[in-house]
A and B are shown apart, each in its own frame.
Chain A
Amino acid sequence: MSFDWAPPLIGATGPQLSARAPQTQPYRSDTVIDGWAAGGFEVRAASVRGPGHRASGVPRQDDFALATVGGSVIAVVADGVSNAPLSHLGATMVCRTVVDYLLRADGTVDWHDLLRCAGWALVEYAGRQLGDSDPQQAETLLASTVVVALVRPDGPGRAVAQLVRVGDSTAWRLRDGTWEPLFAALTDPQDELLPDGVAALPRVPAEVEPVEVAIVEGNVLVLATDGFAEPLGHGTGDLGRLFGDGLATPPAMTRLAWMLDFAGGSWDDDRTVLAVWPVSPELS
């Protein structure tokens, strides 16, 4: 039995650099993989440290969290802002706070309150661990983007997802290999330049309106950080095809992590992908 573990190559070959140990506490692994089946859903997720952070000994600043409650799936992906030195902890705090909030929520969700609580978790964490509960200090140290999906069953092989986000982490409905973005683009292709910064918790938009989308069997709900979203673009290139094929049905967990370890060009950011498939009960 043999398998070529070389990461899939997207675009031109980039420099081959070995991964350095993160010089931070507490311990944080290079890669996280998870997946399970529950009720009418299959889920897979992986978060992989990017070549840039590997080369410079910086911990993975992306994270995700998953949970299931009452037949629904809670899915969260977060990306610690790169110039906030403890943002890897921020990303983890945000993921776990959102899951905790949604596990406690009954019926309707106050999405603005959810994001405010996720933001406050950073302020409180800064206060407890670092002795400074100044929100601006929390932003400087721990800022993190987030995208949240609450996926509820809606009959056999059908689901309805509600999503909110802060920053440039994003989501798609993947249908027959086509990537349908669920959030409006943050940049206009006509814009000359990239935006000067990224919105992130503990900042929360004044108004939060969830995006709602129906997912039927054969579709995939995909959440990701910009380390995946940027090279994906409109999903018509190599990366879009790799993941379009690879996520057509729930892959082996290690296969998702392998795909996500893609190399090439100057794509060096941490990358996280979380996918949810609605499945008919007889198949699950």
Chain B
Amino acid sequence: MAETAGRVLPVYLVADESVSMTPVVDELNAGLQSLHDALLREPLAAAKVRFSIIGFSEDVVVHSALSDLRNETALPQLSVRSGTAYGVAFSLLIDRIPADVRALKREGFAVHRPAVFFLSDGQPTDPGEWEPVYAELIDRERTPTAPNIIACGIGDARAETILHVATRPEFAFVATPGVEVGFAIAEFCTALTRSVIRSGQAVGGDTAELVVERPDSFRMAVDVV
């Protein structure tokens, strides 16, 4: 046996299942099927991803717990119910993400910071309630396994709400008005697939400085590599 089992990236799709999603839920399900197909074609990438599907409306439903999609024959189908309570979804993640990370570490994996793909087509029906739950979820002091959240707004979701949910401004996507919602969902699923398959290392360096001046002793060793 190898001493460690490898690296994995936990990915959570958190999808709005409010009634207003009815016209597009089929497209979302089809998008998930394409994601699954794409992962099965890329077994090395798939080996490094664990995927969970969560739906929320006035309550929250775990359609599939975090699992290796290579072992799944089909993905669960999202459906529609009433309400758009963001708070119940974030509250569930506060419980599940640390537990999932612990379970993966017990299996010997080193775990990347989890990624949450959040999709909503409406304004939250629990204003004032979801914000403190969200704040706890993304606070790395209180939640050491705090996820990166990529948020996508379609339909009636407002840009400022989606920007609030995304953990970085470049992680927020809002469908352009006039663009067909089904098209926006397809785009979201493509982006999700691409990020899941290409979860490469990011360049970082908290304590290191970029070399911005030519050192006096510098000499070009080779012109052409």
Q: Quick one: which of A83, A117, A200 contacts B200, CB cutoff 8 A?
A: A83
Q: List, in ascending order, chain B residues with CB within 8 A of A30's CB.
A: none
- Are A193 and B113 in contact (CB-based, < 8 A)? yes
Any A CB within 8 A of the CB of B179: no
Q: List, in ascending order, chain B residues with CB within 8 A of A15's CB.
A: 43-44, 47
- Are B225 and A26 in contact (CB-based, < 8 A)? yes
Any A CB within 8 A of the CB of B48: yes
Interface centre among B4, B42, B98, B112 (most CB of A within 10 A): B4
Q: Is chain B's interface secondary structure helix, strand, loop, or mixed overall? A: loop
- Are B215 and A117 in contact (CB-based, < 8 A)? yes
- Are B48 and A93 in contact (CB-based, < 8 A)? no
Which among B18-26, B88-96, B152-160, B205-213 touches the partner chain? B205-213
CA distance A194 to B48 in the complex (A): 13
Any A CB within 8 A of the CB of B217: yes
Interface residues of A in 158-201 (CB under 8 A from B): 166, 187, 192-201
Q: List, in ascending order, chain A residues with CB within 8 A of B1's CB.
A: 10-11, 237-238
Q: List, in ascending order, chain A residues with CB within 8 A of B32's CB.
A: none
Interface residues of B in 189-225 (CB under 8 A from A): 198, 200-205, 207-215, 217-225
- Are A199 and B200 in contact (CB-based, < 8 A)? no
Interface residues of A in 82-96 (CB under 8 A from B): 82-84, 89, 92-93, 96
| Residue in chain A with minimal CB distance to B202 | A197
CA distance A26 to B211 in the complex (A): 26
- Are A51 and B203 in contact (CB-based, < 8 A)? no
Given contacts A120-B211, A203-B211, A193 and B205 within 8 Å (CB-CB)? no
Given contacts A266-B47, A268-B44, A113 and B211 within 8 Å (CB-CB)? no
Given contacts A238-B2, A267-B6, A197 and B208 within 8 Å (CB-CB)? no
| Residue in chain B with minimal CB distance to A100 | B221
Q: Scoring A residues 134 to 156 as 1 if CB is less than 8 Å from chain B, else 0, what string do you get?
A: 01100110010000000000000
Interface centre among B1, B205, B221 (most CB of A within 10 A): B221
Size of the chain A interface, CB-CB below 8 angstroms: 71
CA distance A82 to B48 in the complex (A): 15
Q: Quick one: which of B6, B144, B214, B221 contacts A93, CB cutoff 8 A?
A: B221
Q: List, in ascending order, chain A residues with CB within 8 A of B212's CB.
A: 123, 135
Size of the chain B interface, CB-CB below 8 angstroms: 48
Any A CB within 8 A of the CB of B166: no
Any A CB within 8 A of the CB of B65: no
Q: List, in ascending order, chain B residues with CB within 8 A of A104's CB.
A: 219
- Are A206 and B207 in contact (CB-based, < 8 A)? yes
Min Cβ gap A94→B in Å is 10
CA distance A143 to B203 in the complex (A): 8
CA distance A241 to B42 in the complex (A): 31
Q: List, in ascending order, chain A residues with CB within 8 A of B164's CB.
A: none
Q: Quick one: which of A124, A206, A265 contacts B208, CB cutoff 8 A?
A: A206
Q: List, in ascending order, chain B residues with CB within 8 A of A253's CB.
A: none
Which among A216-224, A226-234, A243-251, A271-279 touches the partner chain? A226-234
CA distance A229 to B98 in the complex (A): 27
CA distance A117 to B224 in the complex (A): 17
Interface centre among B111, B208, B211 (most CB of A within 10 A): B211
Any B CB within 8 A of the CB of A17: yes
Any A CB within 8 A of the CB of B5: yes
Any A CB within 8 A of the CB of B101: yes
Q: List, in ascending order, chain B residues with CB within 8 A of A81's CB.
A: 201, 203
- Are A120 and B203 in contact (CB-based, < 8 A)? no
Interface residues of B in 1-43 (CB under 8 A from A): 1-8, 42-43
Interface residues of B in 126-178 (CB under 8 A from A): 144-145
- Are B211 and A194 in contact (CB-based, < 8 A)? no
Which 7 pairs show the lowest CB-CB distances between chains A and B?
A197-B204, A233-B3, A237-B3, A203-B208, A100-B221, A119-B211, A266-B6
- List chain B positions with a Cβ less than 8 A from chain A: 1-8, 42-45, 47-48, 98, 101, 105, 110-113, 144-145, 198, 200-205, 207-215, 217-225
| 23 A–B contacts from the bound complex (CB under 8 Å) | A10-B1, A15-B44, A15-B47, A17-B43, A17-B44, A26-B225, A81-B201, A82-B200, A89-B225, A100-B219, A123-B211, A125-B225, A128-B223, A139-B203, A140-B203, A194-B113, A198-B204, A199-B208, A233-B3, A239-B2, A266-B7, A266-B48, A267-B6
